[in-house]
Amino acid sequence: MPGLVLPPVRQAFRAIAQTVVPEAATMGESEWMALEGLVEQLLSQRPALVHRQLGILIHAIEYLPLLTTGRRFSGLDAARRARFLGRLASAPLLLLRRGVWGLRTLVFLGYYARPGTAAAIGYRADRRGWEARR
Amino acid sequence: MSERTYDIVIVGSGAGGGTVAQALSDLCRDGVRILVLEKGPKLADEEFTGQEIEMAAALYEQGGGFLTADGTMTLAFGRAYGGSTVVYTGTSLVVPERVIAGWNVPGLTHSDLAARAQKYKAQNNVHLLEPALLNDNNRLFVEGCAASGLHAEQFPLNLRGCRGSSLCNLGCPNAAKLGTHRVQLPAAERNGVEVVTRADVRRIGEDRALTVLVSPKQPGDKGLPSAWSAGEHTVRARMVVLAGSAIGSPALLLRSGFGARLPRLGHGFTCHPAHILVGEHERPITNDVGHPKSFFVDRAVEDGYVLETCMYFPFTTAKNLTGFGAPHSALMRAFPRLQMILVLACDKAVPQNRVTVDAGGNPVVHYTFTAETIEAMVRATRAAARIFFGAGALRVHAPSADPPLIERRDAARVDELVSASHFLPGRVSVSAAHLMGGCGMGRTARDSVTDTWGRVHGVPWLYVADASLFPDSLEINPYLTVMAVADRVAEGVRRDARTLLAAPEARTA
């Protein structure tokens, strides 16, 4: 699904996604497209205001580390990214906390709703229930 | 734009609307025209696939992602033929006597509601699941409760032919759960009630005209198309029964301008805020097979909380665990070894928690966690952690701990590690699915929205028949009580219909 929201912030979004789900670092381009497609699909049902807010938040996460480290978020190593995002997730300002919560929720949606991921983590629910386990 | 006329219009088809539709449906034999308007679609049996994202999108309002005004809690409620009864787990508890006594609504008695609840328990084949069908997730809960001195009780469930898919919250793929979409609505339709889906009621006028917006079925959407053409319709009614949920019913009345005469409209919202906790075991357990919610612990009186077994799906689980990164991923990859408990706080109605509408008439839910609610969630979390460790878990993920993972070696420090100071709204995930209040029952318009028969104060043709009638928290899973209250409202509607439908203008058109 062609995206509208993520393309301008793709590099930063992928860096954030790899911080939220470290296994995402090993994904190929087609898997990224699947993840981002699911996120864009959800965002397409949300108002334009939400799209703008998300874009601003991702930009802020990308550029705020410049002030303290001299590097953008996507240029930090994994440990520093995790520390930075963790601080925002526990920030005194509710706006920041809920922003990070929403962003991580989008990443979880994109990552865990992809075909095959459920099986990869051992989730095996089947409509046949007990019969499928015999 | 079309115009149609009915005698009785019911807005919503869940536990409230479906019950009223069936209870009044025999009136159709006397020529009474009854219509149910449902905002969501009606799915064919084969469309219940159990796939998390597609089913959530099809069956829940906003795909299950409806947030409170400050974005700190997710509210999950159904939007389909059958409403939330399509997506609940079928738990069927009769309301405790103390709750009805505490509501102090004149004329509303526990014995009346209990008798009505029994009728629907029989109708919906409510029974206890046989032990052979219980999974490890539920058995470990019982073991953990025994080890930690808590009394686990088994949920009565409204099932017939349960195969144990574990997918109740995504709509049973085996048609085993007896919600209103399987029992009451089909019975009502057989008797002549008309049900129109994808029909969103935007406004009710003082002239008893409803403005209804019918949505077209979009490419890729699940469900049947609406029986009516897409677009705006006007429906004229003699009597109107609102059963569009604790969010939908007050919002509809507010955007229709009833707020001026009903100062309590939208007030009294409660929802049993909940955390999902997981405990990781050493070996795989059966968790994603079998009925997910078979047992509970009721500590509402003593500690203000209820614990329930549960098992959710990968995205829902990921979203509800606190944090991210390697510890979160490790827990997700332990899915086959996870035990899960839902902790619910019995929140109380307070002035700041209420439903309003925005400039477009869309519902906005304002919710602030009171200190009492947070303390109840903390006590519940500590109790759940003890249950996990009592059942042998290696580690427990507790949202109100920082870091949220508690290792077995620290099991004795649960009270110290789980604390209200770590309950940081916006960081911890909180969700709720027991939405109540907003059109509370009571004496007059000064203290409530309706009388004890669900009749809106000062509007004798307008009724409410859903969980919005509850003047305060129910402290148990609400659906059976919604049915009991709706049955009572239907009795009042039937009684009033003798007068309201006998008026000369009733038979025009």
Q: Give the model confidence (pLDDT) of A85-94 as tens digits.
A: 999 999 999 9
Q: Give the ipTM.
A: 0.96
Residue A39, min C-alpha distance to chain B (Å): 11
Residue numbers in A near B62 (CB within 8 A): 45
C-alpha separations of B413 from A64, B4, B382, B388, B401 in Å: 37, 65, 10, 14, 11
Chain centroid to CA A108: 6
Count helices and strands in chain B by DSSP H and E runs: 13, 21
Residue A86, min C-alpha distance to chain B (Å): 8
Evaluated on CA atoms B83, B86, B90, B91, the torsion sign reads negative
Using 50, 70 and 90 to split pLDDT, how confident is the model at B508? very low
Q: What is the pLDDT of residue B235?
A: 98
What would the two tokens of residue B478 be? 């609400």
pLDDT value at A2 more than 70: no
What mean pLDDT is predicted for residues B346-372?
A: 97
State phi, psi for B319 to the nearest 5 degrees. -65, -35
Say if residues B264 and B249 touch (Cβ distance below 8 Å).
no
What would the two tokens of residue A78 be? 């994994």
- Nearest chain B residue to A121, by CA: B333
Q: Give the model confidence (pLDDT) of B113-143 as tens digits.
A: 999 999 999 999 999 999 989 999 999 999 9
Say if residues B219 and B57 touch (Cβ distance below 8 Å).
no
Q: How many CB atoms lie within 10 A of CB B164?
A: 25
What mean pLDDT is predicted for residues B470-496?
A: 97
Residue A105, min C-alpha distance to chain B (Å): 6
Q: What is the C-alpha to C-alpha distance for residues B164 and B169, in angstroms, rounded to an integer?
A: 12
Q: What is the C-alpha to C-alpha distance for residues A133 and B59, in angstroms, rounded to an integer?
A: 27
What mean pLDDT is predicted for residues A64-78?
A: 96
Q: What is the C-alpha to C-alpha distance for residues A68 and A89, in angstroms, rounded to an integer?
A: 17
Residue B150, min C-alpha distance to chain A (Å): 29
Q: Which one-letter amino acid corresponds to residue B169?
A: N
Count helices and strands in chain A by DSSP H and E runs: 7, 0
What mean pLDDT is predicted for residues B347-370?
A: 97
pLDDT value at A1 more than 90: no
- Here the contacts of B350-358 (C-beta below 8 Å, separation 24 or greater) are B351/B267, B353/B268, B353/B269, B353/B270, B354/B266, B354/B267, B354/B268, B354/B269, B354/B438, B355/B246, B355/B247, B355/B250, B355/B251, B355/B254, B355/B266, B355/B269, B355/B438, B356/B254, B356/B266, B357/B251, B357/B254, B357/B255
Give the DSSP per-residue string, B344-377: EE-----TT-EEEE-TTS-EEEE----HHHHHHH
Residue numbers in A near B170 (CB within 8 A): none
Q: Give the model confidence (pLDDT) of B458-467 as tens digits.
A: 999 999 999 9
Q: Which of B179, B183, B177 lies closest to B23 in space, CA to CA?
A: B183
Instruction: Indicate the range of A38-47, B56-65, B81-90, B448-457 predicted with least confidence.
Output: A38-47
Residue A133, min C-alpha distance to chain B (Å): 8
Q: Given an 8 Å threshold on Cβ–Cβ distance, is A130 in contact with B164?
A: yes
Of A42, A89, A121, the CB nearest to B427: A89
Using 50, 70 and 90 to split pLDDT, how confident is the model at A3? low
Using 50, 70 and 90 to split pLDDT, how confident is the model at B267? very high
Of B162, B289, B324, the CB nearest to A19: B324
Q: Give the model confidence (pLDDT) of A94-132 as tens digits.
A: 999 999 999 999 999 999 998 889 999 999 999 999 999
Q: Which of B446, B447, B480, B442 lies closest to B464 in space, CA to CA?
A: B442
Question: Which three-class secondary structure state does DSSP give residue B431?
Answer: strand
pLDDT value at B490 more than 70: yes
Question: Which three-class secondary structure state does DSSP give residue A47?
Answer: coil
Tell me what percent of the residues of chain B surpass a pLDDT of 90. Answer: 97
What mean pLDDT is predicted for residues B167-187?
A: 98
What mean pLDDT is predicted for residues B366-371?
A: 98
Q: What is the pLDDT of residue B505?
A: 59
Q: Which residues does residue B464 pair with via DSSP β-bridges, in sequence order?
A: B242
Q: Given an 8 Å threshold on Cβ–Cβ distance, is B313 in contact with A123?
A: yes
Q: Is B461 exposed, middle or buried (0-12, 13-18, 19+ CB in 10 A)?
A: middle
pLDDT value at B509 more than 80: no
B interface with A, Cβ–Cβ < 8 A, is 48-50, 52-53, 62-63, 65, 70-72, 133, 162-167, 173-174, 284, 286, 288-290, 313-315, 318-319, 323-326, 328-329, 332-333, 335-336, 424-427, 429
Residue A41, min C-alpha distance to chain B (Å): 11
Q: Given an 8 Å threshold on Cβ–Cβ distance, is B290 in contact with A130?
A: yes
Q: Given an 8 Å threshold on Cβ–Cβ distance, is B173 in contact with A127?
A: yes
Residue numbers in A near B318 (CB within 8 A): 108, 111-112
Q: Is B259 exposed, middle or buried (0-12, 13-18, 19+ CB in 10 A)?
A: middle
pTM: 0.96
Q: Give the model confidence (pLDDT) of B40-69 as tens digits.
A: 999 999 999 999 999 999 999 999 999 999
Say what angle helices A78-89 and A10-20 make with each other, to 10 degrees: 90
Whole-number average pLDDT of chain B = 96
Say if residues A24 and A18 touch (Cβ distance below 8 Å).
yes
What mean pLDDT is predicted for residues B196-214?
A: 98
C-alpha separations of B265 from A52, A72, B256, B400, B447 in Å: 33, 49, 12, 33, 10
Q: Given an 8 Å threshold on Cβ–Cβ distance, is B314 in contact with A85?
A: no
